[in-house]
């Protein structure tokens, strides 16, 4: 498991996940696909149609595989806690029933279990991961998402943490504990995860749909011009650009023009200033009607050139 979750029974999530998995070995039953409803605590916002089609084809040829975790919703229906992708694929495959694990999950447990299962398989985008963890913090600690973000950005700022001799406040300690359960450092969550919340809509959508990685998303976000950013996003997706290629194009688009004046321009300015100085110093030139009229004609031509 590349995410590095500590799922030993003594860890924060380990005991919870371990106990659930022990029950999974025996507590399975077949339920009609029509009895299941999507979970309210599903952290995933996007399901790849291509991935669903492939899984559905597998179910058609081999039958349903795996299990779906559910909890009773009412007398006839069950809410999906984990496994919505398999449920959707089973519907596409035309299956009547799916294998389920029915348990009584609290809202807190439902969110925690769904988030853990998805992060273990690396199915979530960085934005989904961020929103899911913030929702878990809200549920477990009884604070709003806005309050959690404020605590992370203020009390959890590295400058304040390093200067503060006192122990972190209770809420910050709870947040750190939850993040640690998912092997996420507080400062990483503050500097990387929270940045996804303020992304432009088109970048959020592309990242959620798996079209661009987190690193490419944040690189494209450096382009503030909406039209240029949209064009680069389209190129990144259609041409399957690597991060390095995207970075080079972003640098080219955002590069500031040099402010140095060329030698040719400097020469023209110097010559113009010298001529004006000479005219001002030699009033005799302006007393000559022909020369004065000629100078006026030349000045008019210069003015016309400047207005082009």
144 and 166 part of one domain: yes
* Residue 63 domain boundaries: 14-105
177 and 206 part of one domain: no
Q: What average pLDDT score do residues 139-148 get?
A: 91
Domain assignment of residue 206, yes or no:
yes
Tens of pLDDT along 60-104? 999 999 999 999 988 789 999 999 999 999 999 999 999 999 999
Residue 55 CA to residue 33 CA, distance in Å, equals 16
175 and 250 part of one domain: no
Domain assignment of residue 299, yes or no:
no
98 and 131 part of one domain: no
22 and 101 part of one domain: yes
Tens of pLDDT along 95-139? 999 999 999 998 888 888 888 887 776 567 899 999 989 988 998
- Compute how many other C-beta atoms are within 10 angstroms of the C-beta atom of residue 305: 8
Tens of pLDDT along 228-283? 999 999 999 999 999 999 999 999 998 876 655 567 778 888 888 888 787 777 76
143 and 219 part of one domain: no
Q: How many CA atoms lie within 13 A of 80 on its CB side?
A: 24
Cβ neighbors of 68 (< 8 A, separation 6 or more) are 36, 80, 82, 83, 84, 86, 87, 98, 99, 100, 101
Domain assignment of residue 286, yes or no:
no
Would you state the structure tokens that stand for residue 107, as one six-digit string?
A: 């809202």
Domain assignment of residue 92, yes or no:
yes
Domain assignment of residue 308, yes or no:
no
Q: What average pLDDT score do residues 194-216 get?
A: 92
Q: In sequence order, what E strands does 10-159 have? A: 28-32, 36-37, 68-72, 78-82, 97-102
Residue 132 CA to residue 130 CA, distance in Å, equals 5
């Amino acid at each position: 498991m590349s995410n590095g979750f500590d799922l030993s029974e003594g860890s924060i999530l380990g005991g919870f996940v371990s106990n659930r998995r022990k029950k999974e070995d025996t507590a399975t039953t077949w339920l009609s696909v029509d009895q299941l409803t999507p979970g309210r605590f599903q952290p995933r916002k996007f399901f790849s149609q291509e991935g669903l089609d492939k899984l559905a084809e597998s179910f058609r040829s081999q039958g349903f595989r795996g299990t779906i975790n559910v909890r009773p919703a009412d007398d006839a229906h069950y809410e999906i806690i984990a496994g919505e992708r398999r449920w959707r694929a089973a519907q596409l495959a035309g299956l009547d029933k799916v294998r389920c694990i029915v348990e009584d999950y609290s809202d807190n447990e439902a969110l925690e279990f769904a988030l853990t299962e998805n992060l273990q398989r690396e199915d979530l985008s960085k934005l989904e991961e961020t929103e899911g963890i913030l929702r878990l913090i809200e549920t477990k600690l009884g604070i709003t998402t806005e309050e959690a973000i404020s605590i992370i950005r203020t009390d959890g700022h590295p400058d304040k943490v390093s200067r503060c001799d006192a122990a972190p406040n209770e809420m910050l300690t709870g947040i750190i504990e939850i993040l640690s359960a998912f092997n996420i450092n507080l400062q990483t969550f503050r500097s990387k995860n929270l940045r996804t919340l303020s992304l432009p809509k088109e970048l959020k959508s592309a990242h959620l749909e798996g079209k661009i990685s987190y690193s490419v998303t944040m690189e494209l976000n450096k382009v503030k011009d909406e039209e240029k950013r949209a064009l680069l996003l389209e190129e990144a997706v259609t041409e399957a650009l690597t991060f390095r290629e995207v970075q080079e194009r972003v640098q080219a688009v955002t590069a500031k023009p040099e402010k140095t004046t060329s030698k040719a321009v400097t020469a023209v300015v110097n010559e113009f200033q010298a001529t004006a100085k000479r005219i001002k110093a030699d009033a005799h030139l302006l007393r000559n009607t022909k020369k004065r009229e000629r100078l006026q004609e030349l000045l008019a031509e210069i003015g016309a050139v400047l207005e082009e």
